[in-house]
Amino acid sequence: MDVGGAVAAAKGPVPSPAVEAVAPPHVERLNPVVEQQLHLESVKIRALALYKAVSHILEDLDAFARSNSTIKWRDALGQFSMVSMQLFNIVEDIKNVSKAFVIFPRNINAENATVLPVMLSSKLFPEMEAEDIAKREQLLYGISGHPVHIQIEKLKARIDMIGAACEAAETVISDCRKTYGLGSHPGSTLVPTLDKVQAAKIQEQENLLRAAVNLGEGLRIPFDQRQLPTSLPSHLADVLSFGDGAQNLADNSGSCEKNTPAFSSTREVLQMLQTPGGQLIGRSVPSPSNATAFDNPSTPPMAYANSPRSDPNIMNTPSPQQQAQRQQQQRQKIMQLTHQQQLLLQQQLRQSSITGVLGQFQSPISHAQNCILNWHCCGKALFLVAVETFGHCFCMELKHKDEEGGRLGRFGFSLGIWENKCGSGFSSHLMDIWPTALADENSTIAGVRIQEKHKHWGSDIRSNWFKNLSLKIWDLPGWIRSYLKVLNRIDALISVPKILSSLSQISSMSASMQSQSRLPRMQFGLTGGHLQRNHPSQVFNDQMFGMSPSNPVNMLAMQQQQQGGFRNMSTNAHDLQPGMVNLPNTIQNPNFPQQQQNQQ
């Protein structure tokens, strides 16, 4: 037992059974199996060796300390690590079997603080021992007389029953926790789950939101409610103006063939402008969607100057004057128009009052402008834009200066300035529009072939492109036909066959008029009272309208010619060509000043 004591001393407290084995006369032996496993002898030898090694290290350290020489730490640590390894191995070997009767406390904590002394003690206090005996008797109350193994079984049964009861209690408690959401102690936080109803609501909202943002569902205003408000937000006030809004709204089916309220009111205006006598100052320009294309198609409009049917002397006769007076009265009704249109007309009237000579042309002008306004507002301004592309610069703002210096109505069709920083796609997309618009269904149009898709609208490339384009146009009079194809898009506004026929005679004309004026100054007829139509572009525009003699714009052009400000117009259709042919020559600006001289 000294050996056992020595072993225990090296590693920890003396196991009480071993001690008890010493005290009572009846010597208890360790279970032979356990003893065999313990290998007490070998453990003892190893422990002794360990002890010697540790003491040797301590002596060395002592010697170093006394001699004040530097310790070779590397060696010392090596020895120490060897010693610790040996200890570790010994402890591991007996650990497995020592659990039964050895307490090897590594640390004291709250759990075992009260129990540890009792377990380490070799003998209990008398009171505790008395308690221990009393509890033992209580436990073994019914079975103490039985043999030991039966007692053991019964005790085991009791333990099992208690264990089962504990488990049942645990489940009940956890169920209650889940039910009442109590989960208070850490590690068992329940994942909050959404209520099904709530989840469905959120799903619905999510679908709504995603559809709206990505597809526009739920955001489309019904067609009948799409009217431009009278007060636009500030960022739209400059952008949108009269007549732009309603006509440019697609209905939900995507068709652009619907009559809009604003438009129809404009039509009423036009009808109002018709003289009661049925004499049309100009034919009203109906909505493209209107099945009845023209009012009174059978009634030929008045012959105007420059019309093929006109009397050469008509330039001298103020023919529409009487009608103009009547229409000036009717103009009052125009005030009932929409706000934007009122603005336009007021502007026109204001502007036109600058030159009193033009008074006689006011109402026809305004009428024509209304027509053009409608036409434009129908969204069929592809013509305009097509014209623009042949202009000098794709990024132009139409400014108009008249000779009086006043800035007349600048209903400029301003195009955006494309600062194409990010790349090419949109410009090429835009370029795609033109071939589509101009060249589809007609492969024989050689004039306008936008072959070079310039990826970047750099100014140099732009000008090159237009130069090339203009060269091509010059070579091919078929360009005119292509141009008319563009016009063809505008439903029934201009009777293209008539234009074609009238232009066929011009198609043979050479490019002698290249030096004529530029196109881009195309006030699209919406400047009030502007009569300085000294831009062949405007001439062209007017003349294009003038192709169908019943077109009111033609009258506008004619009457402006009468004013004498513009002397380019001649009375035969052949002279229309200068205006048309000049269209592509927009780059050649220097020629512009010559125009007035040339065409006198």
In the bound state with other proteins, the residue whose beta carbon lies nearer, of 14 and 385, is 385
In the bound state with other proteins, the residue whose beta carbon lies nearer, of 363 and 527, is 527
Residues with Cβ within 8 Å of 499's Cβ and at least 6 positions away in sequence, in order, are 484, 487, 544, 547, 548
What is the contact mask toward other proteins in residues 316 to 355, using x (rule: CB under 8 A)? ----------------------------------------
How far is the C-alpha of 463 from the C-alpha of 431, rounded, in Å?
A: 15
What is the contact mask toward other proteins in residues 208 to 227, using x (rule: CB under 8 A)? xxx-xxx-x-xxxx---xxx
In whole angstroms, how close is the CB of 553 to other proteins at the nearest point?
Answer: 18
What is the contact mask toward other proteins in residues 75 to 114, using x (rule: CB under 8 A)? ----------------------------------------
As a dihedral over the C-alpha atoms of residue 104, residue 110, residue 115, residue 116, rounded to 10 degrees, the angle is 30
In the bound state with other proteins, the residue whose beta carbon lies nearer, of 44 and 489, is 489
How far is the C-alpha of 516 from the C-alpha of 535, rounded, in Å?
A: 9
Among 128-136, 313-321, 408-416, 498-506, the segment contacting other proteins (CB under 8 A): 408-416
* The total number of residues written for the chain in this structure: 600
DSSP state of 573: G
With beta carbons less than 8 A apart as the criterion, state whether 556 and 530 touch.
no
How far is the C-alpha of 107 from the C-alpha of 162, rounded, in Å?
A: 30
317-324: long-range contacts (C-beta < 8 A, 24 or more apart)? 318/360, 318/562, 320/281, 320/360, 320/361, 320/364, 320/555, 320/559, 321/360, 323/275, 323/279, 323/281, 323/363, 323/364, 324/281, 324/359, 324/360, 324/361, 324/362, 324/363, 324/364
In whole angstroms, how close is the CB of 226 to other proteins at the nearest point?
Answer: 5
Within residues 136-195, the interface with other proteins by CB under 8 A covers 191-194
Structure tokens of 303? 């012959």
Residues with Cβ within 8 Å of 281's Cβ and at least 6 positions away in sequence, in order, are 273, 274, 275, 301, 302, 320, 323, 324, 327, 363, 364, 367, 552, 555
What is the contact mask toward other proteins in residues 478 to 507, using x (rule: CB under 8 A)? -----------x------------------
In the bound state with other proteins, the residue whose beta carbon lies nearer, of 262 and 305, is 262
DSSP state of 518: -
In whole angstroms, how close is the CB of 348 to other proteins at the nearest point?
Answer: 19
In whole angstroms, how close is the CB of 194 to other proteins at the nearest point?
Answer: 5
Size of the site for other proteins (CB under 8 A): 70
CA atoms within 13 A on the CB side of 478: 13
- The residue from 199, 335, 357, 471 that contacts other proteins (CB under 8 A) is 199
In whole angstroms, how close is the CB of 294 to other proteins at the nearest point?
Answer: 21
Among 102-110, 198-206, 307-315, 316-324, the segment contacting other proteins (CB under 8 A): 198-206
How far is the C-alpha of 62 from the C-alpha of 60, rounded, in Å?
A: 5
Instruction: Give CA separation, 263 vs 253, 440, 523, 550, 553, in Å.
Output: 19, 29, 21, 21, 19
- The residue from 236, 446, 492, 506 that contacts other proteins (CB under 8 A) is 236
DSSP one-letter string for 182-237: ---STT-PPPPPPPHHHHHHHHHHHHHHHHHHHH-TT-PPPGGG----SS--HHHH
In the bound state with other proteins, the residue whose beta carbon lies nearer, of 75 and 206, is 206
Neighbours of 317 (CB within 10 A): 11
What is the contact mask toward other proteins in residues 503 to 522, using x (rule: CB under 8 A)? --------------------
**Torsion-angle region of residue 368: left (phi > 0), alpha (psi -120 to 50) or beta?**
alpha
With CA atoms as reference, report the closest residue to 87 among 15, 12, 33.
12
In the bound state with other proteins, the residue whose beta carbon lies nearer, of 429 and 574, is 429
How far is the C-alpha of 247 from the C-alpha of 266, rounded, in Å?
A: 11
In the bound state with other proteins, the residue whose beta carbon lies nearer, of 7 and 496, is 496
Within residues 414-433, the interface with other proteins by CB under 8 A covers 414-426, 429, 433
In whole angstroms, how close is the CB of 368 to other proteins at the nearest point?
Answer: 19
- The residue from 144, 436, 504, 594 that contacts other proteins (CB under 8 A) is 436
What is the contact mask toward other proteins in residues 440 to 479, using x (rule: CB under 8 A)? ----------------------------------------
Residue found under tokens 């600058």 = 354
Coil, helix or strand at residue 464: helix
In whole angstroms, how close is the CB of 212 to other proteins at the nearest point?
Answer: 5
How far is the C-alpha of 580 from the C-alpha of 504, rounded, in Å?
A: 13
With beta carbons less than 8 A apart as the criterion, state whether 508 and 477 touch.
yes
In the bound state with other proteins, the residue whose beta carbon lies nearer, of 334 and 384, is 384
In the bound state with other proteins, the residue whose beta carbon lies nearer, of 299 and 428, is 428
Within residues 365-384, the interface with other proteins by CB under 8 A covers 376, 379-382, 384
In whole angstroms, how close is the CB of 426 to other proteins at the nearest point?
Answer: 5
In the bound state with other proteins, the residue whose beta carbon lies nearer, of 375 and 566, is 375
Q: Phi, psi at residue 286, to the nearest 5°?
A: -80, 170
Q: Phi, psi at residue 427, to the nearest 5°?
A: -65, -35
How far is the C-alpha of 20 from the C-alpha of 112, rounded, in Å?
A: 23
**Sign of the four-CA dihedral 210, 212, 216, 222:** positive
What is the contact mask toward other proteins in residues 18 to 57, using x (rule: CB under 8 A)? ----------------------------------------
- In the chain, the largest separation of any two C-alpha atoms, in whole Å, equals 158
In whole angstroms, how close is the CB of 472 to other proteins at the nearest point?
Answer: 22
In whole angstroms, how close is the CB of 385 to other proteins at the nearest point?
Answer: 5
Which amino acid appears at position 325 of this protein?
Q
In the bound state with other proteins, the residue whose beta carbon lies nearer, of 21 and 236, is 236
In whole angstroms, how close is the CB of 273 to other proteins at the nearest point?
Answer: 25
In the bound state with other proteins, the residue whose beta carbon lies nearer, of 130 and 208, is 208
In the bound state with other proteins, the residue whose beta carbon lies nearer, of 414 and 514, is 414
Within residues 238-257, the interface with other proteins by CB under 8 A covers 238-240, 244-245, 247-250, 254-256
In whole angstroms, how close is the CB of 392 to other proteins at the nearest point?
Answer: 17
Q: Which residues contribute to the site for other proteins (CB under 8 A)?
A: 191-194, 199, 202-203, 205-210, 212-214, 216, 218-221, 225-229, 232-236, 238-240, 244-245, 247-250, 254-256, 376, 379-382, 384-385, 397, 413-426, 429, 433, 436-437, 489
